[in-house]
Amino acid sequence: MLIRVRRASEPKPSEITPESLHLDRRRFIAGASAAGVALVGGAAIADEASPFTDLPDSRFNTTEESTPFDKITAYNNFYEFGTGKEDPARYAGEFRTRPWTVEVGGLCAKPASFAIEDILKSSPLEDRIYRLRCVEAWSMVVPWVGFPLRDLLNKVEPLGSAKFVAFETLLDPEQMPGQAVRTLDWPYREGLRLDEAMHPLAILAVGLYGKPLPNQNGAPIRLVVPWKYGFKSIKSVVRISLVEDMPQASWNMAQPSEYGFYSNVNPAVDHPRWSQARERRIGEFLKRDTLPFNGYGEEVASLYQGMDLAQWF
Ligand SMILES: Nc1nc2c(c(=O)[nH]1)N[C@H]1C(S)=C(S)[C@@H](COP(=O)(O)O)O[C@H]1N2
Ligand SMILES: [Mo]
């Protein structure tokens, strides 16, 4: 295990460009393997206040330019803190993310409650540069710090009867003022089919730009499913359950004609009130074509073989 704490003289990840961050890390990894040091499962963090450093890059990374940190953390959807895009950055600052446990249970042999510190220590963290595409037709490229969801699921040993995975966000209206208003049926819920959840592209993210997740982005741990519309990527997760039946999902419950369970990014299937064919990358002026599965078709299209994706939208 490699633990490297940032020296005070080094720039913070937010102060350096993504390019130099990744160049530095590649140099470090090359040096480490030349010296015969195994990078098993990536680096650990020294303590929760220090940044993640020297993580390996995921093989799934996009080569597109990352959206600047300031934009990723200032334009958010997190209805627990309000429905405006600037509300989460404004109102989530005091949100308490310690202590934090994630309960993983349901149809599994070894249900367990995991303290966030243990998840951070025992998970194979990587830098995962993924596109996030909101159903509202904007998108970002986010350098997440995360690990495959399946690593956590495997720890509890799913039973053969488990077919889906259900997720829940914390329910705490005192801390999350948006939950006092019934904009959604709280707590925020989402779900995946088990094979989707086991795909190595589906991650639990614990950071971005090498730092712990800012509260507005779903601290301390959130799902990221890059081939699906952003609302599947549920934030501030406290419960993960292996279940037999298709779970409830907040947007699907609120408006089933507009938000299906699968919600794979699909330029050929429009939202009833607007087109999904194009998207605006945050920070860019012109729209670009939206790609099927958000550009991850080669990796995930086989999960949906034989399914009519207009019916199962
Ligand atoms: N708990 C919870 N998770 C959530 C949401 C939310 O309102 N509450 N919004 C979703 C939507 S619609 C999107 S597009 C993404 C936005 O993630 P970001 O703010 O980190 O870019 O989070 C998703 N996860
Ligand atoms: Mo979204």
Which of the residue ranges 44-53, 139-148, 193-202 would you say has the lowest mean pLDDT?
Answer: 44-53
Distance 21 CA to ligand 2 centre (A): 28
Residue 1 — pLDDT band, cuts 50, 70, 90? Answer: very low
Q: Residue 49: its pLDDT value, please?
A: 61
Residue 155: what residue type?
Answer: K
Tokens at 289, concatenated = 């074509």
Locate the ligand 1 atom nearest the alpha carbon of residue 251 and give its number.
Answer: 12
228 has a pLDDT exceeding 50: yes
Q: State which ligand 1 atom lies nearest to the alpha carbon of 218.
A: 20
User: Residues 25-80: pLDDT tens digits?
Assistant: 433 333 333 333 333 334 444 345 678 999 999 999 999 999 999 999 999 999 99
Distance between Cα 135 and ligand 2 center (Å)? 5
Closest Cα to atom 7 of ligand 1: 78
Q: How far is the CA of 223 from the centre of ligand 1 (A)?
A: 10
Average pLDDT, rounded, for the chain: 89
Residue 137 Cα to ligand 1 midpoint, Å, equals 14
Which tens digit of pLDDT belongs to each residue from 258-275? Answer: 999 999 999 999 999 999
Residue 233 Cβ < 6 Å to ligand 1: yes
Per-residue pLDDT averaged across 203-216, rounded?
Answer: 98
Q: Could you tell which of 142, 231, 240 is best to mutate to test the pocket of ligand 1, judged by most ligand atoms within 8 Å of the CB?
A: 231
**Which ligand is located closest to the Cα atom of residue 72?**
1
Banded pLDDT at 250 (limits 50, 70, 90): very high
* Residue scoring higher pLDDT (46 or 119): 119
Q: Which CATH architecture has domain 18-304?
A: Alpha-Beta Complex (3.90)
Specify the amino acid at residue 294.
N
- Residue range 205-232: average pLDDT? 98
Query: Which residues are close to ligand 2, an ion, with C-beta < 5 A?
Result: 77, 134, 230-231
CA of 121 to the centre of ligand 2 (A): 30
Atom 10 (ligand 1) nearest CA = 231
Q: Is the CB of residue 169 below 6 angstroms from any atom belonging to ligand 1? A: yes
Three state DSSP letters for the chain: CCCCCCCCCCCCHHHCCHHHHHHHHHHHHHHHHHCCCCCCCCCCCCCCCCCCCCCCECCCCCCCCCCCHHHHCCCCCCHHHCCCCCHHHHHCCCCCCCCCEEEEEECECCCEEEEHHHHHHHCCCEEEEEEEECCCCEEEEEEEEEEEHHHHHHHCCECCCCCEEEEEECCCCCCCHHHHCCCCCCCCEEEEEHHHHCCCCCEEEEEECCEECCHHHCCCCEEECCCEEHHHCCCCEEEEEEECCCCCCHHHHHCCCCCCCCCECCCCCCECCECCCEEEECCCCCCEECCHHHHCHHHHHHHHCCCCCCCCC
Instruction: Choose one of 176, 204, 224, 233 to mutate for the ligand 1 pocket test, by most ligand atoms within 8 angstroms of C-beta.
Output: 233
Question: Is the CB of residue 190 below 6 angstroms from any atom belonging to ligand 1?
Answer: no
140 CA: nearest ligand 1 atom? 21
